[in-house]
């Protein structure tokens, strides 16, 4: 009966139009600072949309609060700009009740890891089929420059005039600890790669986390320059691909090898080791993913590793909404009671 | 039958024992049988705050009170006529609830040295004449039970567990009730799984009855005739169960699937438990990580087209304030259930109170008007929950539904409705549109000022909403000063306009003008109704009106209030509705307050009436 | 000097330009110089909602208004006498803020084709006669600046950045102000790091001044004489800075170290930023993971013996409701700062409003009374924050301090006090006890009903507290019904008794009885004060009283209110204080409301006075 | 100046009395269900207290809400029974302002990982010097039996009548993902071991997490029986100790070996492998700790591993409160301003 009401309006089976990227741009003026990394990310998301093969009205973008969270206004899909930190929970309610929708969560490092930290870890464990794009600029942009839970120690911000003494989160490690099933990293300045990761995130059935390094030109300009700058990128960014060895450096001259549990950097080619000796990336291996995610915070080891970009981890696990809806479907299929039965209950008596 | 049953018009019995003594079951069995006999009744369980405090201590006492009669009954009774005390701690904890001259039925086995010391009695109260003002009937229930079951082959532990059935049997005899319904219940409960337990319980029940019949321990026996209440088929129901059914019924009638997002909290958790069982009605429940996530999931579900409900109690509702504000901005239908408990902070979590009214009306940042309704009795939770859903769906507005611990856990007979007789609920989703249609306006409005419910998956309705102030009609972000003032007033007007779609306020009892009006809301209804009824019979000119709608008020409320010389507002708080009434109507309404974690007694209210009218 | 300066008693200037044009700096330089000249003044910055909207658009316009005079000044001015428009968008966004006949100083370079189209002007407003009702003075600031700096060797970008100094120079000439203070400022700011930039800015400033002097573009020149305000040493201060200083001063005076737990939110973040800079005063700031953690850390700090303060704005305060309830139960000193903004929900985050009063007074579960005070002007934030701390510490009670975006960001001259003259704050910790002493009673009370502050680390004071209802004196958990009622009333009485320790309410202006009283709270003070002052000069019988203490009210408030035929309560909300006054005193107080994210103008209030007194 | 006020009352340097365990029992009646695992934990904490060598009044226990959170009432120290989930944040405020105190947080699985999840991960990353005892009974006790974020999938509880479809957290993995510095596990039924872990947690400077398996006799009886039952414990519980090989089983007949990144169970002795081949426990190795913490949720590997008890991870990292207090101390030591200077500010003018 309830389903019937939906059917009065839903157009779920309609043919998918031939979309162009601009079909996903809303009529609202985009309002980020000139040069903000958010622009490229918006562009790549809009570019990815036609490839999903989903009618526009079946897509929803839910965000919290922050510069990045303005995102839904710019997408010509359904959208909600909600309150600070709560987007994953709102999206969960939407997805549980409307599993056929394609739901995206847009969030910032403060939104998802500070005030929204609890919802963030719980959505990971529940593994609802959502795509979460986490715009990490290591700063609170909208409130004008306080340090965030991803800001490096020592950073001088408005709220830390003598430098931050707060140890930052490693967002991907937090997600893995909370049993995330899809964990990836990309950056605003490598649009092609970003685009491919967005599409892979969408393919994954389960909660897909894409951490996107995003430059805040105003309050934290250049914090990811080592990875985005063409000169330093080869030695600082390690692009990982399932089944491929971990190579990086100018002309892929370097590689990563596992020595027991310890990763080490090796030179390839003459005098060095061969590709066959290298760590082969395996998206399904939680231990490897954990090591990869933590490449940059192993200070005790005094080794400077490149930062990993790409899909670090991707495994299948049942989605929460499927469990819920299977139970409901099962109960509905076995339905033996009418509403009148329910109102009547087990024991009644008659007054005459 | 040696003794002739004496007719009585109403009786209150209080069963009290250790948490492990099965008093809740005994009480509910007595309740069922009493209901089947056609009495009107009202019950209230009184749990200990601890899950299981050490056996024998006062903290571990669990009680159940039933008030039944051949007259209409609206409260579980001020004081008990009969107190069943299974041990010393039960007596200690409950003696104040017994009438002067009331009957104590005591299990002497529960007054042994160990029990007395656990209950911190120096002397056995059954023997030191301290109960002289009461009738005391004592016997060793434990021993009688084990006698009864000595051939059963059961373990001593299982035998001891059956002792509540002995007491039940005795009371059935005392009040001339049949054993049949409880026999059936026992068979259904244990028959298949443990037939020997079933047989034993039935035997003990019978033996208890026979004990009453055979011994001369009782000098009188009573009968309470069928009540002359409205004809029809009844069932017994608690407020939390009625809330569950009200929500499911609203979903079924409106054709909108129900979603309930909640985080457990006493005394609201049973709504979550109840709804989780009704998946066959296409109900989805979500036990969220916290109260904020709970309401956030309902906002997502409402956006997706569900009848979205979240429920909690005071502290949890406090956490939802920010998100309620969002729902008010989004203008989505949403029901927030608050089963109130004693506050502030953790307060008295297992006790009842009406102290969250101001939080319901004002507890958010900014000008954030929402509709507030409250139930007056356990069964009324059905109607009020249903009404909350109707208003939310038809007006596209968040509604707070106030219940409380006393309503939620208390029970009463319910003349339940048929689906066909339920008021219809008109909820509709915005239909799809073609590419070339006029741009869709998500904040366009109808006569109720409701906006269209445009759900994802509907072609042509793509739109974006959020918590920043929005332009009317388009819903776009707007920082325009004039628009903001317009929208603040519009949201207030939208809430106020609900008054055009609810019934006028009526007088529950008495004339529509006169010297004194008692104005109630929520669970104070029962005791005030009874008190006013009785006072009127005694010739006092007092009237009673009860408010279901607290925000907005019914349109004629001012007219009614101004018909009385004095308006008194009894509340289980330090004075909240009274503030709203004084502010809005500028009348010198007076508060009458009790903040003891328990309802007014009828006699407290009557006392107040005497005081006010005799001076 | 060709032109003789004409004396003026007060002037309002509005500087408006693109976010990148440096208007905030220009405004604050003009402010400083004006202050040093001894004028009274009031300022208000008007930021765009976006961090940096695209250059040249209306959304990207940033403005700064200063109102100064030789009379006492209480508001940043209703409408500007002078509007500086650095580009077309600035004109578009700010024209409504200009008086009829006001002066527009326009930078013609900002009205080129690109700027016109970004501002969505079809025709250049400087040329189509649409500004006929105003005086327009236009010149190419950009070109004049680059002329001035053509030898400087600076990059075109750096040269363009200096153009605000040209405008500042022109205005200094126009209002006969000295350049010296700004020259010093520039030297201090750039002198060491970038001497060439300093030199350039100083040159442009001088050239702007000379431009005013040399050209015939202006037909008049003005002078505003020193104000006859209280003698003493002044500084300029914003409300948020004053709050910071008030908190630090209270900590220093009481000898209790300050702890500030907060989560950033507009417009409260500057308090966090400000306090973070004052570590040398033993101040600890904690940027928490969310608002709940922010207040939770302060509760921990208060338990440990700190002067614990948390601050936020509306939505963040909503999240703190549950924890405020805990603090009320724990009876620890705690100050909660709410720099209010437009609501509900995210609302209008960069705009001002007074709509969180009900939330402050009632926004928690249960009966949870707390003290509420509000500041009336930027400088008054110092006194009120200080007073909030005093009450919290001396009464062992949570206090809500209400400020708002207008106060927080606005500034005024402040006759700052000396430490020695600050009211003393008596806060003391419970002393240690020997093993054999009487058991310590953490809920023992003094005449204020305050309990002892027993901090960990003090021998013999071990005790446990929590959010469950507690027995008076011992603080042990108590489910006793009578104790609960006693404690609920005691907590209310404790809050109410604060009224014994605060000043009586006074009349700010006018007689203490009469036809009409304007009763204000918070930031509406300035415009109402000015309006009432002016209306009284015009012969109207109107009085003005301003409330700092909102819960409890001063004890004589009823007496004062009852002296007037009519009480009108102007608020930047939909009517909140008015509800409390009507409820409490049963007088037909009327609301006078504006909900546009900005303060009342003086003329709006005067209009209201005329309306009420002329009919 | 502020410090002076503290000094009026604090008795920080007083001699530590010779305590007995019972000196830490308050006068309040203990009110848990008979047989509840909370009793043994209380006992072990009271037993551990005299060994800390700290005067009673310098110890504070802060809890949230839940059966377990009643704990502070029973300790004759300073205590606060606060609100649900917030104890880590309250304790953080106390510790930052009073670093010399010995502060304990008592919490349940619901309290810490459901409503309190955000404070839980943030206290881990900040690494304040707190000891957190997490009573994990895989259920909400106080609210009478709903499933919790640690309850196993399929569990039938009051709120999941058809069985839970929610994937549970692994609390130690969550903590490691959030950069915890001390992660350990114990159980109510092995009091001696529990006692030793409590003492080690106290020794660690930083946030020490002790997950304690606690039996809820009423709503989840026997859920940890495999580890607490003498018969099954040897093969199901793996007690780890720094520097020692991982052995378990009857008569320590089995061991764990690492094959690359993969742990495997081996038989020891004749025909089997020798102790020298085994994985040597290294508390300082994050990768190893992560593998150990996850022994029981590697379903894809179809191997049944024993569960690890003991200190899985323990490393040093600066404590947040030390950073804050160092900055304050530095600023105070360089103090150049009086309050009057502060009130005066940079620019003033005189009206005569
Ligand atoms: C309840 C609440 N608290 C605080 C804020 C203020 N606030 C808005 S966005 C934000 C943080 C933004 O940082 P991030 O999530 O990293 O987004 P960014 O702006 O960097 O994209 C804060 C603290 C708010 N809007 N609501
Ligand atoms: C804000 C709030 N929400 C909900 C509750 C109800 N509540 C009390 S304890 C609890 C969970 C208890 O579970 P756990 O933390 O595992 O402790 P246990 O009782 O099992 O020791 C809940 C949901 C509350 N007291 N406050
Ligand atoms: S403040 Fe930073 S993150 Fe925000 S819009 Fe500007 S550049 Fe982007
Ligand atoms: S309900 Fe469970 S956890 Fe709570 S006291 Fe009882 S046995 Fe212990
Ligand atoms: Mg950010
Ligand atoms: Mg638990």
Q: Counting ligands in written order, which one lies closest to the CA of residue B51?
A: 4
- Residue-wise pLDDT for C54-76, tens only, equals 889 998 899 999 999 999 999 99
Same domain, B271 and B395: yes
* Domain end call among C363, C398, C421: C421
B473: in domain: no
pLDDT greater than 70 at residue C113: yes
B336: in domain: yes
C464: in domain: no
Q: Which of C14-23, C187-196, D205-214: highest mean pLDDT?
A: D205-214
- Ligand 1 binding pocket mutation candidate from C262, C312, C315 (most atoms within 8 A of CB): C315
Ligand 2 atom, smallest distance to D83 CA: 26
pLDDT at D270: 75
Chain C residues in contact with D118 (beta carbon < 8 A): 289-290, 293
Same domain, C283 and C392: yes
Same domain, B218 and B246: no
Helix, strand or coil, per DSSP, at residue C317:
helix
Helix, strand or coil, per DSSP, at residue B53:
coil
Q: What ipTM does this complex have?
A: 0.96
Mean pLDDT (chain A) is: 95
Strand partners for A130: A103
Range of the domain at B563: 514-613
- Residue-wise pLDDT for C308-352, tens only, equals 999 999 999 999 999 999 999 999 999 999 999 999 999 999 999
Same domain, B217 and B241: no
Confidence of residue D298 (pLDDT cuts 50, 70, 90): low
pLDDT at D1: 42
Structure tokens at B382: 């059905």
* Domain end call among B364, B391, B421: B421
pLDDT greater than 70 at residue D155: yes
pLDDT greater than 50 at residue D191: yes
pLDDT greater than 70 at residue A3: no
Interface of C with D in 428-447 (CB under 8 A): 428-432
Confidence of residue C111 (pLDDT cuts 50, 70, 90): very high
Confidence of residue A1 (pLDDT cuts 50, 70, 90): very low
Same domain, C361 and C244: yes
* Domain end call among B387, B405, B421: B421
pTM: 0.96
pLDDT greater than 90 at residue B482: yes
Please report how many Cα atoms fall inside a 13 Å half-sphere around the Cα of residue C252, on the Cβ side.
22
pLDDT at D351: 86
Q: Mind listing the domains of chain D with CATH numbers?
A: 3-228 (3.40.50.970)
pLDDT at D271: 75
pLDDT greater than 90 at residue A271: no
* B182 torsion bin: left (phi>0), alpha (psi -120 to 50), beta (else): alpha
Following DSSP, what letter does each residue of C168-221 receive, concatenated?
Answer: HHHHHHHTT--SHHHHHHHHHHHTTT-HHHHHHHHHHHHHHHHHHHHSS--S-E
CATH number at residue B351: 3.40.50.970
Structure tokens at A205: 């059935």
Same domain, C533 and C386: no
pLDDT greater than 60 at residue A235: yes
Q: Is C96 exposed, middle or buried (0-12, 13-18, 19+ CB in 10 A)?
A: exposed
Compare all CA atoms of chain C with the CA of D336 and give the residue at the minimum distance. C280
Same domain, C580 and C608: yes
B300: in domain: yes
Question: Maximum Cα–Cα distance for chain B, whole Å?
Answer: 91
What whole-number distance in Å separates Cα of residue A82 and Cα of residue A111? 11
CATH number at residue C592: 3.40.50.920
Mean pLDDT (chain B) is: 95
Contact C290 A160 (CB under 8 A): no
B411: in domain: yes
Confidence of residue C229 (pLDDT cuts 50, 70, 90): confident
What whole-number distance in Å separates Cα of residue B296 and Cα of residue B327? 9
Quote the minimal CA–CA distance from D113 to chain B in Å: 8
Domain tally, chain B: 3
Interface of C with A in 238-267 (CB under 8 A): 263-266
Chain A contact partners (≥3 CB pairs within 8 A) = B, C, D
Same domain, B264 and B143: no
What whole-number distance in Å separates Cα of residue C41 and Cα of residue C67? 5
Same domain, B59 and B94: yes
CATH number at residue C28: 3.40.920.10
pLDDT at B2: 58
Distance between start and end Cα atoms, chain C: 52
Could you tell me which residue, B402 or A3, shows the higher pLDDT? Answer: B402
Query: pLDDT exceeding 70 applies to what percent of chain A?
Result: 97
B208: in domain: yes
Chain C residues in contact with B588 (beta carbon < 8 A): 586
Average pLDDT over residues A58-66: 98
pLDDT at C1: 45
pLDDT greater than 90 at residue C254: yes
DSSP state of B225: P
pLDDT greater than 80 at residue B401: yes
- Residue-wise pLDDT for D204-254, tens only, equals 999 999 999 999 999 999 999 999 999 999 999 999 999 999 999 999 999
Contact A349 B255 (CB under 8 A): no
Same domain, C282 and C399: yes
Q: Counting ligands in written order, which one lies closest to the CA of residue A81?
A: 1
- Quick one: three-class SS letters along chain D? CHHHHHHHHCCCCCCCCCCCHHHHECCCCCCCCCCCCHHHHHHHHHHHHHHHCCCHHHEEEEECCCCHHHHHHHECCEEEECCCCCHHHHHHHHHHHCCCCEEEEEEEHHHHHHHCHHHHHHHHHHCCCCEEEEEECCCECCCCCECCCCCCCCCCECCECCCCCCCCCCHHHHHHHCCCCEEEEEECCCHHHHHHHHHHHHHCCCCEEEEEECCCCCCCCCCCHHHHCCCCHHHHEEEECCCCECEECHHHCEEEEEECCEEEEEEECCCCECHHHCCECCCCCHHHHHHHHCHHHCHHHCCCCCEEEEEEEECCCCCHHHHHHHHHHHHHHCCCCCHHHHHHCCCCEEEC
Helix, strand or coil, per DSSP, at residue C139:
strand
Confidence of residue A136 (pLDDT cuts 50, 70, 90): very high
Q: Which residues surround ligand 6, an ion (CB under 5 A)?
A: D 108-109, 137
Same domain, C200 and C244: no
Cβ–Cβ under 8 Å, residues A188 and A40: yes
Q: Name the residue among B334, B413, B339 with its Cα closest to residue B368.
A: B334
- Residue-wise pLDDT for A285-338, tens only, equals 999 999 999 987 665 566 789 999 999 999 999 999 999 999 999 999 998 899
pLDDT greater than 90 at residue C218: no
Average pLDDT over residues C167-182: 94
Return the C-alpha torsion angle D11, D13, D15, D19, nearest 10: 70
Average pLDDT over residues B389-403: 98
- Residue-wise pLDDT for D162-186, tens only, equals 999 999 999 999 999 999 999 999 9
- Residue-wise pLDDT for C497-534, tens only, equals 999 999 999 999 999 999 999 999 999 999 999 999 99
Residue B300 has a CB neighbour count (10 Å cut-off) of: 33
pLDDT greater than 90 at residue C122: yes
- Residue-wise pLDDT for A100-127, tens only, equals 999 999 999 999 999 999 999 999 999 9
Lowest mean pLDDT among A215-219, B273-277, C33-37: C33-37
**Mutation to test the B interface, candidates A7, A65, A89, A96, most B Cβ within 10 Å:** A89
Compare all CA atoms of chain C with the CA of D76 and give the residue at the minimum distance. C462
Confidence of residue B1 (pLDDT cuts 50, 70, 90): very low
Cβ–Cβ under 8 Å, residues C448 and B559: no
Same domain, B31 and B79: yes
Query: pLDDT exceeding 70 applies to what percent of chain B?
Result: 99
């Amino acid at each position: 009966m309830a389903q019937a009401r939906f059917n009065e309006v839903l157009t779920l089976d309609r043919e998918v139009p031939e979309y162009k990227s601009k079909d996903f741009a809303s009529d609202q003026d985009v309002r980020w600072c000139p040069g903000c990394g958010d622009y490229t990310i918006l562009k790549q998301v809009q570019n990815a949309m036609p490839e999903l093969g989903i009618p526009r009205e079946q897509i929803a973008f839910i965000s919290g609060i922050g510069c990045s969270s303005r995102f839904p206004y710019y997408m010509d899909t359904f959208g909600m700009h909600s309150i600070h930190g709560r987007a994953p929970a709102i999206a969960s309610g939407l997805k549980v009740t409307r599993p056929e929708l394609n739901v995206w969560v847009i969030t910032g490092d403060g939104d998802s890891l500070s005030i929204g930290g609890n919802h963030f870890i719980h959505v990971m464990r529940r593994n609802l089929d959502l795509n979460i794009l986490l715009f990490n600029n290591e700063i609170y942009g909208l409130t004008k420059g306080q340090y965030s839970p991803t800001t490096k120690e020592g950073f001088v911000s408005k709220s830390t005039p003598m430098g931050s003494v707060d140890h930052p989160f490693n967002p991907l490690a937090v997600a893995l600890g909370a049993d995330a099933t899809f964990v990836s990293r990309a950056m605003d300045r490598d649009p092609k790669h970003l685009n491919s990761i967005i599409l892979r995130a969408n393919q994954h059935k389960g909660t897909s986390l894409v951490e996107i390094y995003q430059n805040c030109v105003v309050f934290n300009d250049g914090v990811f320059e080592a990875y985005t700058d063409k000169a330093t990128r080869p030695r600082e960014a390690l692009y990982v691909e399932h089944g491929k060895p971990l190579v990086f450096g100018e002309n892929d001259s370097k590689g990563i090898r596992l020595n027991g549990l310890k990763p080490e950097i090796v030179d390839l080619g003459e005098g060095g080791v061969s590709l066959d000796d290298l760590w082969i990336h395996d998206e399904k291996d939680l231990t490897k993913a954990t090591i990869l995610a933590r490449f940059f915070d192993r200070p005790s080891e005094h080794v400077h590793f490149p930062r990993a970009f790409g899909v670090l981890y991707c495994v299948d696990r049942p989605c929460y909404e499927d469990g819920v809806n299977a139970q409901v479907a099962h109960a509905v299929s076995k339905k033996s009671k009418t509403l009148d039965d329910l109102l009547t209950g087990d024991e009644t008596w008659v007054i005459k | 039958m040696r003794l002739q049953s004496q007719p009585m018009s109403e009786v209150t019995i209080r069963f009290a024992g250790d948490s492990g003594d099965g008093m809740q079951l005994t009480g509910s069995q007595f309740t069922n049988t009493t209901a089947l006999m056609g009495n009107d009744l009202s019950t209230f369980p009184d749990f200990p705050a601890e899950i299981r405090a050490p056996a024998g201590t006062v903290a571990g006492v669990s009680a159940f009170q039933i008030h039944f009669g051949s007259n209409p009954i609206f409260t579980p009774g001020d004081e008990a006529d009969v107190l069943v005390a299974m041990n010393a701690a039960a007596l200690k904890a409950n003696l104040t609830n017994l009438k002067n001259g009331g009957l104590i039925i005591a299990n002497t086995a529960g007054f042994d040295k160990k029990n007395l010391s656990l209950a911190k009695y120096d002397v056995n109260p059954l023997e030191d004449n301290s109960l002289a003002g009461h009738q005391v009937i004592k016997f060793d229930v434990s021993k009688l039970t084990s006698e009864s079951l000595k051939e059963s082959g059961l373990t001593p532990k299982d035998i001891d567990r059956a002792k509540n059935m002995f007491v039940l049997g005795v009371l059935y005899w005392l009040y001339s009730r049949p054993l049949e319904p409880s026999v059936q219940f026992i068979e259904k409960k244990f028959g298949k799984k443990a037939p020997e337990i079933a047989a034993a319980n039935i035997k003990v029940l019978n033996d208890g009855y026979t004990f009453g019949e055979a011994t001369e321990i009782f000098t009188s026996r009573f009968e309470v005739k069928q009540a002359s209440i409205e004809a029809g088929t009844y069932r017994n129901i608690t407020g939390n169960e009625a809330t569950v059914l009200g929500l499911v019924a609203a979903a079924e009638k409106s054709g909108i699937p129900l979603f309930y997002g909640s985080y457990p909290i006493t005394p609201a958790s049973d709504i979550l438990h109840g709804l989780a069982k009704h998946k066959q009605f296409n109900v989805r429940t979500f036990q969220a990580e916290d109260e904020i996530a709970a309401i956030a999931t309902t906002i997502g579900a409402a956006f997706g087209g569900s009848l979205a409900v979240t429920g909690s109690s005071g502290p949890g509702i406090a956490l939802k304030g920010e998100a309620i504000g969002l729902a008010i901005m989004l203008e989505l239908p949403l029901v927030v259930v608050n089963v109130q408990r004693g506050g502030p902070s953790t307060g008295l979590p297992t006790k009842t109170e009406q102290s969250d009214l101001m939080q319901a009306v004002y507890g958010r940042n900014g000008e954030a008007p929402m509709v507030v309704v409250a139930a007056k009795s356990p069964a009324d939770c059905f109607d009020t929950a249903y009404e909350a859903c109707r208003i939310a769906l038809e007006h596209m507005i968040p509604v707070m539904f106030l219940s409380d611990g006393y309503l939620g856990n208390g029970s009463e007979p319910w003349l339940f409705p048929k689906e066909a007789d339920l008021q219809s609920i008109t909820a509709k989703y915005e239909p799809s549109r073609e590419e070339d249609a006029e741009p869709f306006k998500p904040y366009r409005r109808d006569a109720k000022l409701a906006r269209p419910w445009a759900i994802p998956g509907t072609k042509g309705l793509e739109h974006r909403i959020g918590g920043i102030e929005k332009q009317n009609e388009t819903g776009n972000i707007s920082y325009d000063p004039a628009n903001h003032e317009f929208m603040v007033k519009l949201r207030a007007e939208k809430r106020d306009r609900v008054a055009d779609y609810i019934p006028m306020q009526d007088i529950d009892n008495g004339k529509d003008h006169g010297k004194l009006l008692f104005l109630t809301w929520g669970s104070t209804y029962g005791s005030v109704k009874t008190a006013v009824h009785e006072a009127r019979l005694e010739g006092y000119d007092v009237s009673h009106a009860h408010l279901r709608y607290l925000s907005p008020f019914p349109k004629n409320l001012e007219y009614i209030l101004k018909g009385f010389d004095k308006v008194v507002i009894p509340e289980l708080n330090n004075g909240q509705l009274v503030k709203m009434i004084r502010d809005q109507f500028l009348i010198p309404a007076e508060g009458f307050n009790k903040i003891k974690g328990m309802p007014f007694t009828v006699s407290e209210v009557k006392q107040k009436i005497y005081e006010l009218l005799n001076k």
